[in-house]
Chains A and B, each alone.
Chain A
Amino acid sequence: MIKKILVLLMLFTILVFFMITISDFNINTYTKDYLLENGYKETGSQNLITAVYLDYRLYDSIFEAGVLLVTVSGIIFMSKKDDEVL
C-alpha cells in the first residue's frame, strides 16, 4: 500500500513539473522560420514535408525504405524455410 502511494506521489510531482515547464517554455522556431523562408527556393517543392524528407533528410528516408526491404525478406525467409529460399 505504501509503495503504491509513493508511486502515485512521484507521478503527480512529475506531472506538476511538466506542466510548469511547458507553461513558461520558449520554443525555438529557428528551423521553422528557415524552412518557410528558403524551402521552396532551395528544393522546388510547394509541399514542405516533401522538401524535408526528399531533400534535407534524404539520408533518413532512404534507410527507412531499407527497413521495409529487410522486413519483406525476413517474412519470406520464414515462410519458405524448407523449400528453396528466393
Chain B
Amino acid sequence: MSIIIYLQILLIIISLVITFGKDNLNMVIFFSVFSLICASLYYFYRAPDLALAEAAIGSAIVPLIFIITISKQREFMVICNIEDDFINPKSKEGEGYKLLSDFTDYYNLKLVVRENKEDTIYGVFRVRNVDLSVKKKKDKYIFEGKSTSIIMNKLVQMTKECSKVDILLVEEEQMDD
C-alpha cells in the first residue's frame, strides 16, 4: 500500500516540474516518465489493460511525435529566388551564404536553403515554414522576413555593414507570394 502513496507523491512532483519547466526536450522526457508512473498506478488499481495502452501510447508514441516536432523547429528555412554567386546552396559558398550561416550559428540553428521550384515544396509546408526569402532588385539583394519573428532584429544588426543587402519586414500573410 505504501508504494502507491509514494508513486502518487512522485506523480504530483513530476506534473509540477512539467508545468513550470523551461527546456522543451527535458519536458518531453518528464512527460514520458509521467506516463510510466501512471501506467504502474493503473496496474496497482487492478486495470492492467489500461496500463498496457498507457505504456504504449503515452510513453512511446506521443513523446516521439514531440521529439520530431522539436527537431524540425531547429531549422532556418530560406527560399532563394536568385541564380548567381551571392548565395550558392550546392557548393555552400558566396557572400550571402556566409552571412546567413554566421547568423544561424549564433542561434544554434540549422540553415536550409532551397531554390524556388514549384514541385519541391508542397503542402502545409509552403505556407507556414518559410523564415526568409531572398530576391534581387537592381543591384541590391532584398531579404524578406516576418515582422513577428524576434530573431530578425539580430539579422538587421548583422547586415548593417553590408551595403548590398536590404531587409524588408512584412506581415505574416504576405510571406507566401
The chain A residues found within 8 Å of chain B, CB to CB, are: 49, 78-83
Q: How far is the CA of A80 from the CA of B122 in the complex (A)?
A: 8
Q: How far is the CA of A57 from the CA of B49 in the complex (A)?
A: 17
The chain B residues found within 8 Å of chain A, CB to CB, are: 49, 122-124, 126
User: Inter-chain contact count A-B, CB under 8 Å?
Assistant: 13
Are the C-beta atoms of B49 and A81 separated by less than 8 Å? no
Are the C-beta atoms of B123 and A82 separated by less than 8 Å? yes
Q: How far is the CA of A49 from the CA of B50 in the complex (A)?
A: 11
Nearest 9 Cβ contacts at the A-B interface: A82-B122, A79-B123, A83-B122, A49-B49, A80-B123, A82-B123, A79-B124, A81-B123, A78-B124
Secondary structure at chain A's binding surface: helix, strand, loop or mixed? loop
Are the C-beta atoms of A82 and B49 separated by less than 8 Å? no
Minimal beta-carbon separation of B105 from chain A (angstroms)? 31
Q: How far is the CA of A80 from the CA of B124 in the complex (A)?
A: 8
13 A-B pairs with CB atoms under 8 Å apart are A49-B49, A78-B124, A79-B123, A79-B124, A80-B122, A80-B123, A81-B123, A81-B124, A82-B122, A82-B123, A82-B126, A83-B122, A83-B123
Contacts of A82 in B (CB 8 A): 122-123, 126
Contacts of B123 in A (CB 8 A): 79-83
Minimal beta-carbon separation of A36 from chain B (angstroms)? 15
Contacts of A79 in B (CB 8 A): 123-124
Q: Which residue of A lies closest to B119 (CB)?
A: A83
Contacts of B124 in A (CB 8 A): 78-79, 81
Contacts of A78 in B (CB 8 A): 124
Q: How far is the CA of A82 from the CA of B125 in the complex (A)?
A: 10
Q: How far is the CA of A79 from the CA of B123 in the complex (A)?
A: 6
Minimal beta-carbon separation of B42 from chain A (angstroms)? 13
